[in-house]
Structure 1
């Protein structure tokens, strides 16, 4: 490897879009005619032609910001990004990197969580790798999810059209709320949250799959585009849909659904839930003529949904309209609030525990 290893220090999280575009999205080796959808900003998965009108859909994702429930998250976060294409997740490979001092109990916990999550979505672990790795303070996983689908059923993030409405399912920041409660529960309690509220926040981990609602919309041809907002939350997810589709997305902040527990947790630690990990929320572009049918379809499987914006013909960007009508324009994604503040939260937690 050539070049300086050390450079300007960036906040942990995804690479900047311009850096990604000029490196990994550009340098892809030998192009293949069978790759229908390759690496691209805003797209959730690769789509590879198999023949006989079938395609292989593939997606990879790491989990770097959680310790508790890391196995569960490893499966569901990757599965979500496959399901938003309309393809059922079927096979998984997972790489597990462990600190040198990780106990056998940690390995047992991660493997059991992976197994439980796979059984929930009806999928199988078909390979991977696990090792003790020098320099780690906590486990890290990287998951690849795969599935086979009919080519004409695939939904692409780039498919949104001017005039489509933007809907979201469930509530924002489900994943981030669960991580906050699991990793910093003592801090939340000290800042005024009840044990019942903290337990409710922890339980949100069970809601982070969007596989049922994504497949339900895809099977009925109701969505022109779907996306799973992970890092950077609802705002980053909506912007990625704007990039992929080449449209302007108008997002009304007051319409974004928040669980009262999420709202309280984020207020007391000073973070923005709209810019925080939001696996479990599905963003979907829906033709206005099909909106009622889409909402009824989601309701029939027990999933609540809200209309939070629309797509317009215009430059690929996000315009967030606040409660007082002020418009904030995003052309690059915000830093994820939870990931960016982990060090600060950890120090507050340690200081609190040190006083006990």
Structure 2
């Protein structure tokens, strides 16, 4: 019997990694499930097979947080849209109204734009309390005013009893991209550093515990907040920043997988460097949930040039929202299309896209 050499074992490991890398989400379902809205593999399969296939165009195919478009006059704009179905409508640290505004502002900001205008559409269930609707709208007005963004148009629809979960909010936003600013996956290269603007998992766990279905008593508040000031601080300190995304549905793990998809590099995250509040980590451990997949509403990932990483983190930490900012990983040349985590125990594991729907309706 021939002994397996170290080189053969390495070749087999690389072959397994290559097969893993080539796996692409495919739409195999006959009906839509909650998993299709969770931001992971099922969401990616639905978007690719149904929406991108139908609406295909160069701007859409970038699949960023916002589309970057150019006006006939040559101005570059970011244009984003989103829908919010948070349950419950109010939770520690915020409400569906706050998230509806912050989410759209953040999509524009991480696309390199300065947010300017928003729309707001409401689908309201018959019997919904006007007093609660006023509170939600007041939260939206407060959030928009704080961010210096105008809500300039909207729409209202009312549906029958039990045809919606109280209220759904749809927003769209437009922002102006300063001349010379460009962020794109194509700019990312081996040696770059991955910067996280703050702690992860706060929003998803706050919403989940606020439902009252779990006998867990933890002081966890949502991180919902606009990140445009943080983004501007980072770009001023690190003008060679390559790419940014806010880690909402699917969390940091899924966002990193979106970064490496079909690209000639890999992301390696360092578990000890990931900033996580102890109570969030404890709740995740009790529930068997990986915090890398828990949604955030006020944090973003940035890939920055290695020589600017320290300046980027220092700039973020000057802002209260960025006090826990850190370099949490790096871009490496091999294996292509893989996200890996260096664990606290000294090992390494692959971080795939979110599978299933562990935290439904969190944004």
Structure 2 length-normalised TM: 0.80
Seen in structure 2, the aligned counterparts of structure 1 residues 319 and 156 have a Cα distance that, compared at 3 Å, is same
SS at match of 1:337: coil
- How far the C-alpha of 1:92 sits from its partner, in A, is 0.6
1:235 aligned to 253, 270, 275, which one?
A: 253
Report how far residue 144 of structure 1 moved. Answer: 0.9
Question: Cα–Cα, structure 1 residues 246 and 120, in superposed 2: closer, same or farther, change >3 Å?
Answer: farther
Q: Does 1:322 align with 2:339?
A: no
CA contact (8 A) 2:193 2:331 kept: yes
Question: Would you say 1:7 and 2:31 are equivalent positions?
Answer: yes
Superposed displacement of residue 55, structure 1: 0.8
| Structure-1 residue corresponding to 2:86 | 65
Q: Which residue of 2 aligns with 1:119?
A: 145
Residue 182 (str. 1) matches residue 210 (str. 2): yes
Residue pair 1:48, 1:56 contacting (<8 A) in 2 also? yes
Deviation (angstroms), 1:18: 3.4
Who is 2:293 aligned against? 275
Q: Which residue of 2 aligns with 1:211?
A: 228
Q: Which residue of 1 aligns with 2:51?
A: 24
Query: Structure 1 312/277 Cα, relative in aligned 2: closer, same or farther at 3 Å?
Result: same
Match of 2:107 in 1: 81
CA-based RMSD of the aligned residues comes to 2.5
Q: Provide the C-alpha distance between the structure 1 equivalents of 2:252 and 2:170, rounded to a whole number of angstroms.
A: 23
**Which runs of 5 or more residues in structure 1 are unaligned?**
343-356
Measured against aligned partners, the alpha-carbon deviations of 1:176-227 in whole angstroms (never above 9, x if no partner) come to 133134333xx56x43x3xxx53xx23x34x532222112223441421111
Instruction: Give me the whole-angstrom Cα distance separating, in 1, the residues matched to 2:240 and 2:226.
Output: 19
**In structure 2, C-alpha distance between the alignment counterparts of 1:53 and 1:292, rounded to whole Å:** 34
Supply the distance in 1 between the matched residues of 2:150 and 2:192 (Cα, whole angstroms): 36
Match of 2:333 among 313, 330, 334: 313
Kept in 1: contact 2:97–2:136 (CA 8 A): yes
Q: How many Å apart are 1:48 and its aligned residue?
A: 0.8
Cα shift readout 1:47-96 (whole Å, capped 9, x = no counterpart): 11125542111111221233110011001011111101221111111221
Misfit runs of 4+, over 4 Å: none
| Partner residue in 2 for 1:92 | 118
Gaps of 5+ in 2: 1-28
The offset of 1:246, in angstroms, is 4.7
Number of residue pairs matched? 320
Q: Distance in 2 between matches of 1:244 and 1:117?
A: 37
Q: TM-score, normalization: structure 1?
A: 0.81
For 1:282-321, list aligned pairs within 5 A.
282-302=300-320, 303-304=322-323, 305-314=325-334, 315-321=336-342
Contact kept, 8 Å, 1:253 with 1:323, in 2: the verdict is: yes
Please say if residues 253 and 353 of structure 2, whose CA atoms lie closer than 8 Å, have aligned partners that are also in contact: no
Judged with a 3 Å threshold, the aligned counterparts in structure 2 of structure 1 residues 111 and 9 are, in CA distance, closer, same or farther, namely: closer
In 2, the alpha carbon distance for the partners of 1:264 and 1:90 equals 39
On the 8 A contact 1:229/1:238 being kept in 2, the answer is: no
Question: Cα deviation per residue 1:250-292 (whole Å; 9 max; x = unaligned)?
Answer: 1122321101221233333443222111221210101111112
User: Cα distance, 1:164 vs. partner?
Assistant: 0.5
Native 8 Å contact 1:25 1:40 kept in 2: no
Q: Contact 2:68/2:78 (CA < 8 Å) preserved in 1?
A: yes
Matched residue, 2:21: none
